[in-house]
Amino acid sequence: MTTALQPARRAVPPKPPRARLRIIGWTVAALVLAAHAVAWNATEISVSALVEGATGMGEFLSEAVPPELGSDVLAESASAAVVTLWIGLLGTTLSIPGSLLLALLATRGTAPGWVYQPARSLLSFLRAVPDVVFALIFVTAVGLGPFPGVLALVFHNVGVMGKLWAETLEDADPGPAQALRSAGAGRIQVAAHALLPVVTPQMVGLLLYRFDVNVRSSLVLGLVGAGGIGFLINQSIQLFQFDEMLTHILVVLVLIVAVDQLSALIRRLLGSTS
């Protein structure tokens, strides 16, 4: 008479006692509070200084309101806002080739093993250096103006987009890629015919998101001399023309809203055609 084989029962690990969980919880809470106390002292946060500065802030706002709405100021602000838009646009589109190349080199299965880690390291470096630091470097190299802002965004955006696109490629459905490899396809053929067609909508969505971010970043780059409306804001603050500064900020608000609406429209069009 044969007996059916029964699966071996595995011992269930005992649950940690509640007293131990409470000790762990209180220890973590104490560490978090201690870290916040150290950060509070290190950053020199002072509520009294904030209260004392309320008067100065009120004077600042009284000088900024109402904004200067003269035709000359508005024309200059609108022209600089358009330059800011072009900086963000070129900083995004000119980074596409480098981002795509490094993304493919930093994706397992589309690049040799000896290239994978160096490509990842290069992406980490470009991503770790802030675009403002790149802008300061290029302002020193090529002078003031929008050009160093475009260069700064291109270099930083290659690091960010390359990382995002590499993660998207690695998370793609491996089925089509495995089928092509079994048929003898090379790495480039696998990337071109199996991976990129599958993840193109996600990559375009990430690119539009970075375009939004780059337009905002180009505003900050203008504060360090990289052109655009950020340069006008910095100039207005230095000359104590706070009413003109508020005008420039309002124009920036209109620009950001317009870019958001444009990106949303493109996403809807892509969604309807997919």
Question: For position 173, what pLDDT does the model report?
Answer: 64
User: What confidence score (pLDDT) does residue 241 get?
Assistant: 82
3-state secondary structure the chain: CCCCCCCCCCCCCCCCCHHHHHHHHHHHHHHHHHHHHHHHHHCCCCHHHHHHCHHHHHHHHHHHCCCCCCHHHHHHHHHHHHHHHHHHHHHHHCCHHHHHHHHHHCCECCECHHHHHHHHHHHHHHHHCCHHHHHHHHHHHHCCCHHHHHHHHHHHHHHHHHHHHHHHHHCCCHHHHHHHHHCCCCHHHHHHHHHHHHHHHHHHHHHHHHHHHHHHHHHHHHCCCCCCHHHHHHHHHHCCCHHHHHHHHHHHHHHHHHHHHHHHHHHHHHHHHC
Q: What is the reported pLDDT for 220? A: 84
pLDDT at 93: 92
pLDDT at position 201: 79
Report the C-alpha gap between 185 and 92 in whole angstroms: 32
Span between the terminal Cα atoms of the chain, in Å: 62
Domains of the chain and CATH, by start: 67-273 (1.10.3720.10)
For each of the chain's 274 residues, which pLDDT tens digit applies?
455 555 556 655 555 667 778 888 888 999 999 999 999 888 888 777 777 777 777 777 777 777 777 778 888 888 888 998 999 999 999 999 999 888 888 887 777 778 888 888 899 999 898 888 988 898 888 888 889 889 999 999 999 999 988 888 877 666 666 666 666 666 666 666 667 777 777 888 888 888 888 888 888 888 887 778 888 888 888 888 888 888 888 888 888 888 888 888 877 777 666 5
| Predicted local confidence at residue 151, as pLDDT | 92
At 211, list the tokens: 């375009």
